[in-house]
Amino acid sequence: MSNKIKVATTSLAGCFGCHMSFLDIDERLLTLAEVAEFDRSPITDIEHCGPCDIGLIEGGVCNSENVHVLREFRKNCKILVAVGACAINGGLPAMRNHIDLEDCLLEAYRDGIGVENPQIPSDPELPLLLNQVHPIHEIVKIDYFLPGCPPSADVFWTFLTALVEGREPSLPYELVHYD
């Protein structure tokens, strides 16, 4: 049995930029791999989150599938982390919260400029949209928040290193200021 910590990640309603920033820790991924193994992540091809020590979630919650995945992560992860502006406050996807969902769908799929074959998708395989995009802490309990759009690779590294070493994560001002 491995004494490595297990890390899982997923992207909900976001742009995958936080995952790209996570991967930007570059060669430090090899150092992390010495003490961690990856469950569901962009590095693996695992579809569902199994029991994990740390779950990193990027993106807000905009549909029924997002709710399901988020609850699965909360159930299986000892520590759950909201990563980036979309997970923390809904980010850019939440800009639609000020527009009625039906109006938003009509503009995007029927009435918008350049729309060909206008029809609102109704395939039963598509997850049901929520009326609004929610930050993930409105759906499940979150243990930590990593700010940024996206958080830098150094924020990921500093945060994960502290957790792996059993320390309470603390991000210095230099890593999280935007002035």
pLDDT in tens, 96-114: 999 999 999 999 999 999 9
**Phi-psi region for residue 114, left (φ > 0), alpha (ψ -120 to 50) or beta?**
left
Other beta carbons within 10 angstroms of residue 42's beta carbon come to 14
Give all domains of the chain, ordered by start, each with its CATH number. Answer: 3-93+128-173 (3.40.50.700)
145: pLDDT strictly greater than 90: yes
Structure tokens at 132: 């609004």
pLDDT of residue 177: 79
pLDDT in tens, 10-50: 999 999 999 999 999 999 999 998 999 888 877 777 777 88
pLDDT in tens, 109-137: 999 999 999 999 999 999 999 999 999 99
